[in-house]
Structure 1
Amino acid sequence: MIKEYETKLGSVKIETEKTIIFEYGIPGFEDLKQFVLLEPEDTYPIMWLASLEDKKVAFPVTFPQLIRNDYQFALPQDLTEYLELEKPEDAIILSILTIPEKEDEITINLAAPIIISQKNHKGVQYLIENEEYKIRHLLKEELERSNAILSVQKDGE
């Protein structure tokens, strides 16, 4: 079934099975449970996790591995079961961006990724217990870091 919603990005038609349910909300937005992942071609790989209940709420998100090529963490068993994740491909992992006026001040939240199950369409924001990952990493610095890692790997070949 297709339903029309008003979002921060305008009016969108969404197949109801594409609705992502955050049963526990997202920290700071616990009352909002229904979201959709919008992928505008003109901003991809920046996408938008848009609330279907409050048209003023949408988070810019991207794949953290595109920014930090060695990004990894382990999910606890209870969360893996809740999301019905049997293999890594069952999950979509996203990080929230903060996009200020100055492009070189864009930050990415690597400490609390959004995990969406492709099997049951449930989503959670998970706080990683790893001091290496912070809530605000400068995007520019993370890209430079990843490029340095890649060039060291190429030199080693």
Structure 2
Amino acid sequence: MNINAKYFGPISYEKKETIHIINGLIGFESHTEYLPISFQEDDDSMISLQCLDDEALSFILLNPFGIFPDYDPVLPKYELEELGTDSADDISFYVIGVIRDSVAESTINLKAPLAVNALNRRAKQVILDHPEYTFRHFLGDMRKEG
């Protein structure tokens, strides 16, 4: 299959590379099929989450653990079951980033990460019950903390 990816141009992919986001992302509930594309080969620190039914729609995902090592998302059992697993070890977490010209003014959403079951490619945007996490953490502030 082929798609004209927003940040990469024409890309060929196989169905097994796609992910299905249960109920879509917040604000984009009708879009559930995506292709994750790493900006650097074999590196998941920054990914373009390319929508398959709207080529203009793509989100920047970041691996939160490289930016915020103390990040500790915990899913309740019912969300693990919805993702098709009973083990948190099967889940990878990514946060949506808003990249600005200045890295310091760029933000990440630690409150509502994308939880991805790496085994079955099912994903869900979850809202964490953790008061420390908000929807907009400035990367500039996180560098000062680290």
Aligned to 2:5: 7
Task: From the two aligned structures, give the one with the greater helix fraction.
Answer: 1
Give the residue type in structure 2 aligned to 1:102: S
Cα pair distance change 1:88/1:76, threshold 3 Å = closer
In structure 2, the partner of 1:154 is none
Contact 1:6 1:52 survives alignment (8 Å)? no
Paired with 1:52 and 1:99, the residues of 2 have a C-alpha distance of: 22
In the other structure, the counterpart of 1:91 is 91
- Indicate how the Cα distance of structure 1 residues 19 and 44 shifts in structure 2: closer, same or farther if over 3 A, else same: closer
- C-alpha separation between the residues in 2 aligned to 1:40 and 1:102? 19
Name the residue aligned to 1:30: 29
Matched, 1:65 2:65: yes
Distance (Å, rounded) in 1 between the aligned partners of 2:77 and 2:88: 13
TM-score for both structures, normalised by structure 1: 0.84
* Distance in 1 between residues matched to 2:52 and 2:3, nearest whole Å: 6
Secondary structure class of the residue paired with 1:53: coil
Confirm or deny: 8 A CA contact 2:68 2:142 kept in the other structure: yes
The aligned amino acid for 1:11 is P
Per-residue deviation, 1:45: 2.3
Question: 2 CA distance for matches of 1:23 and 1:104?
Answer: 32
Select between 3-12 and 106-115 the one with higher mean Cα deviation: 3-12
- 2:101 corresponds to 1:128: no
Q: Percent identity?
A: 26
TM-score of the two chains, using structure 2 as the length reference: 0.90
Aligned-residue offset at 1:44: 6.2
Distance 1:92 1:107 in 2: 20
How many residue pairs end up in the alignment? Answer: 144
Structure 2 gap segments, 5+ residues each: none
Instruction: Give deviations 1:64-110, integer Å, cap 9, x for gaps.
Output: 11111110022011110111234344112100111122222011110
